[in-house]
Chain A
Amino acid sequence: MRGYLRPDGRKGIRNIILVTYLVECAHHVARAIVTKSNSDNVQLVGFPGCYPNQYSLKIMEGLCTHPNVAGVVLVSLGCEGFNREQLSKTIKASGRPVETLIIQESGGTKQTINSGIDKVSTLLEAAKSIPLVDMDTSELVIGTICGGSDGTSGISANPAVGHCFDQLIAEDATCIFEETGELIGCEQIMAERAITPELGEEIVNSVAKAENYYTVMGYGSFAPGNAEGGLSTQEEKSMGAYAKSGASKIHGLIKPGDIPNQKGLYLMDVVPDGDPLYGFPNIVDSAEIIEMIASGSHIILFTTGRGSVVGSAISPVIKVCANPETYNKLADDMDVNAGKVINGEATVQQVGREIYDLVSRVAAGEKSKSEDLGHQEFVITYKQFEGLGPNCLPVR
């Protein structure tokens, strides 16, 4: 495969110009710039809140300097709390071009949109000269998530992704799995897979934190559709979700926006630190997808039983459908039919290999279904995190 070589040395599989609103008040203007630019390579991201927040800044920094991103136009209303100077500085330091438009100083909606279209057009032109270089599987970062799980997820799609992860890790790629709240009940089994006992302890603690957080909120990470699909409890859902991680050793525990320091398998702790503060840890799947992308994921493997259709800005989302009945209903949205395992038509290993092959093709430029359909869902909420514990990233 070939990758776009960024000035900071990272390699991307897409060549995207991001238009980024820094408060909801600038959302319409930013969206109009994207729509009128009329290119699949111009995409919209943003943060709605007016109050500053360290987490949202870190996520936005991770997204705007993502290997798939060639350049950025920031759209600010002018008076919001988002630290646009810091974000712009980080993007510049990564060697990517960045332009900032301030609506209050640019003459309002029409003039800012027109000016934004010009800036995007210049950045698109500049992106054409980004060198394409050889890229190896070992340079890929792949994240996984499940959404709309049912009783088939843990038997077909999730273990198949786990099998794909094991193959990728055998080739020295970096893989991320996440949502400690959906791993409640698996903490001891997971800890045994940590490369050091101290990391194992950090993993157990992160799940205990998640359990406390969800208990305070009054709901586990368990939706009514999960129950309709045959899942009865949080820990049952967890055991199924856990299968996505495969059988490789766990090399580290990261938080949203942290870039894994070495190759191998990483668990992302997505539940905020400290006392529950801003509400539900993860309001929806898209929030977790964005966190894995902010940590450098080039592609997201999304398993579903009930049937999700979401994609994402920045990185392609590949859908692996666990349930054969769902696959028949939503075939246009599904990249891989893992329901074949339920029907006895394929083994988990065969589907795992199919996912692996598709990862290679999508990395080489083939569009995933959700990408082709134009899905670019995007959510960031308020959160707070402390730094990583001293044992979270053991040196090998």
Chain B
Amino acid sequence: MIDKRFVLLSKEDNVFVCAGQVLADESICLEGTTVTLNVDINVGHKIARKAIAKGEKIIKYGASIGSAKQAIAFGEHVHLHNMKSDYIASHTRASKVGEVS
């Protein structure tokens, strides 16, 4: 079973999408395994469905949406700090992140 605040969009995906906010330190059940979140996860954000190695593709909608910049643990927030585009770097108001090397 899976916490109803997380959605699996495609069976090939290695991320879940958050459909209801979950706060840090809360323990949630993902496909039968319990994990404790270390940061707040807001609606629309992603967490890892399994351990993902550095350089591995992040799969969502059954398609690649970029690569892991570092090893990502099961249940960890997957975002700008640990993944990057394989096309064009993203940016925040302060700076660019995940420059394509």
Residues of chain A whose beta carbon lies under 8 Å from any beta carbon of chain B: 150-155, 184-186, 189, 211, 214-215, 219-220, 222, 224, 226-227, 229-236, 239-240, 305, 323-325, 342-344
Residues A155 and B7 in contact, CB atoms below 8 Å apart: yes
Q: Which B residues are within 8 Å of any A CB, using their own CB?
A: 4, 7, 9, 17-20, 42-46, 58, 60-61, 63-66, 78-80, 83-93, 98
- A222 surroundings in chain B (CB, below 8 A): 88, 90-91
> A232 vs B72: C-alpha distance in the bound complex, in angstroms?
15
Query: Of residues A211, A214, A239, which shows the largest number of chain B Cβ atoms within 10 Å of its Cβ?
Result: A239
- In the complex the two chains form, what is the Cα distance from A235 to B62 in whole Å? 12
Q: Are B78 and A232 in contact (CB under 8 A)?
A: yes
B63 touches A211 (CB 8 A): no
- With contacts A220-B85, A232-B78, A236-B66 known, is A152 near B61, CB below 8 A? no
Would A233 and B42 be within 8 Å (CB), given that A220-B90, A227-B92 are in contact? Answer: no
Q: Which of A150, A220, A240 contacts B88 (CB 8 A)?
A: A220
Within the assembled complex, what's the spacing in Å between the Cα atoms of A185 and B64? 8
Are A230 and B42 in contact, CB atoms less than 8 angstroms apart?
yes
Q: Can you list 8 A-B contacts (CB < 8 A)?
A: A150-B44, A151-B46, A219-B88, A222-B88, A227-B92, A230-B43, A230-B44, A232-B79
CB distance from B36 to the nearest CB of A (A): 20
A129 to B62, CA, bound (A): 55
Once A155-B17, A184-B87 are accepted as A-B contacts, the answer to whether A235 and B66 lie under 8 Å apart by CB is yes
Query: Is there an interface contact between A230 and B65, defined as CB atoms closer than 8 Å?
Result: no
**B92: which of A151, A224, A239, A325 is its contact (CB, 8 Å)?**
A224
Classify the interface of chain B: helix, strand, loop or mixed: loop
Count A/B pairs, Cβ under 8 Å.
Answer: 110
Query: Which secondary structure characterizes the binding site on chain A?
Result: loop
- Top 6 A-B residue pairs of the complex, sorted by shortest distance between their CB atoms: A151-B44, A230-B44, A220-B88, A236-B65, A230-B45, A233-B85
Q: Evaluate whether A235 and B86 lie within 8 angstroms (CB atoms) in the complex, with A151-B18, A151-B44, A323-B44 already known.
A: yes
Contact (A233, B93) CB under 8 Å given A151-B17, A189-B63, A344-B4: no
Bound complex: CA A211 to CA B43 (Å): 29
Take A152-B43, A155-B17 as given contacts and tell me if A235 and B87 are in contact as well, using a CB distance cutoff of 8 Å: yes
Known: A224-B92, A227-B79, A233-B66. A151 touches B85 (CB 8 A): no
Q: How far is the CA of A235 from the CA of B60 in the complex (A)?
A: 10
In the complex, A236 Cα to B84 Cα: how many Å? 10
Considering only CB atoms, which chain A residue lies closest to B7 in the complex? A155
Among residues of B, the one whose C-beta sits closest to the C-beta of A152 is B44
Q: Is the CB of B19 within 8 A of A342?
A: yes
Are A239 and B60 also in contact (CB < 8 A) when A151-B17, A344-B4 are? yes
Chain B residues near A324 (CB-CB < 8 A): 43
Of B9, B18, B83, B93, the residue contacting A232 (CB under 8 A) is: B83
Residues of B within 8 A of A227 (CB): 79-80, 90, 92
The answer to whether A239 and B61 have CB atoms under 8 Å apart is yes
* Bound complex: CA A155 to CA B85 (Å): 20
Q: Are B98 and A233 in contact (CB under 8 A)?
A: yes
Q: In the complex the two chains form, is A232's CB within 8 Å of B46's CB?
A: yes
CA distance A320 to B56 in the complex (A): 34
